[in-house]
Amino acid sequence: MWHRRGVVASGAALAAASALPARATALTVNDVLSRMRGQIGTEWREGGVDRIAAGSGDTVVTGIATTMMGTFDALKAAMARRANFIITHEPTWWSHPDLLDGLQDDPLYKVKSAYVRDHNLVCFHFHDHWHQKKPVDGIHAGMAQQMGWLKYRDPTERPYGFQPSFFNLPPTTLAGLADELRKKLGDRTLRIVGDPALPVTKVMAWWGYNGGLDFLDSEADVLVIGEAQDWDVIAYAKDQVTTGRRKGLIVLGHIVSEQWGMKYCADWLKSFVPEVPVSFVQLAEPYWNLKKPVFAINTKL
């Protein structure tokens, strides 16, 4: 009798189990990357810097954090949000291609890689394809959105592919434009070359690094960049001003000049990755000035 009851009970349990909905398959890093390839709007090409720089593509995703650079404070901020998949525009390992050559014995590499391993983190370098996104470069779209300049974009510009953005702004001055950038981007250490009273309406923005001298000979009144070498673009701009050209140059700093494009990336990801939380990690500006010293770097492991 006991045996028969057991068979009946087991049969009932099996029937009940079969009536339950199937458990959802866990979302992995590779699953998210596959969706990104389908949504980017351009051909996904191998061979650039876009790849997993730390961790495994088979890792189950608990949350996604987008950020400008895979710095240690970005990893810690992501962990605080239970986001173990970090999508970073710039490197994790201190070189553009994220190479590990010669780093294996570096003390900081050992600490940072141990943190990644111990917290089951994955870092994906998302640079080339985000700039090639169609119909518009992802960094350019996010920066223009943060500045409130979308409606001022020059309709003749190329919208993607490592090209500058042009904006036809309401009349201002070089000093006024610099102050607007300071406020909207949270930039406390930008640098300016040129007459503060220079009238400005047409702006060329090359978010990130720029080393091309020809851009300062365009129709733009001001070139806005993230960074350059002092002996080329910055010296060229100074010499232009010295010869009487009515030009200006504003240097924002690399992180500040691109990171709002990664906020735009978080919004983009939310549209096709609904299973986990997606958020943007804003990095603290690495510099401070003597008038207002600010130490905003998280030093706690």
As for how many domains the chain has, the answer is: 2
Q: What is the pLDDT of residue 24?
A: 62
pLDDT at residue 3, as a whole number: 40
Q: How much of the chain exceeds pLDDT 70, in percent?
A: 90
Position 290 in a domain: no
Which residues constitute the domain of residue 55?
29-131+259-281
Residue 234, both tokens: 């910055």
* Cβ–Cβ < 8 Å for 226, 211: no
94 and 233 belong to one structural domain: no
pTM score? 0.89
With left for phi above 0 and alpha for psi between -120 and 50, is residue 98 left, alpha or beta? left
Nearest to 295 by CA among 75, 80, 109, 73: 73
3-state SS assignment for residue 79: helix
Residue 207: CATH number of its domain: 3.40.1390.30
Residue 87 domain-assigned (yes or no): yes
Other CB atoms within a 10 A radius of the CB of residue 219 amount to 8
134 within 8 A of 160, measured Cβ to Cβ: yes
Tokens of 144: 């223009």
Are the beta carbons of 141 and 261 closer than 8 angstroms?
A: yes
Dihedral sign for Cα atoms in the order 56, 60, 66, 67: negative
Pick the more confident residue, 160 or 129: 129
Task: Tell me the backbone φ, ψ of residue 295, rounded to 5 degrees.
Answer: -110, 100
Query: pLDDT tens digits, residue range 217-237?
Result: 788 999 999 999 999 999 999
Is it the case that residue 216 has pLDDT exceeding 90? no
- For 138, the token pair is 């992802």
Split at pLDDT 50, 70, 90, the class of 63 is: very high
The continuous run of DSSP H or E covering 234 comes out as none
Same domain, 111 and 159: no
Q: Which of 284, 234, 277, 289 is nearest to 259 (CA)?
A: 284
Residues 127 and 195 grouped into a single domain: no
pLDDT tens-digit series, residues 164-207: 889 999 999 999 999 999 999 999 999 999 999 999 999 999 99
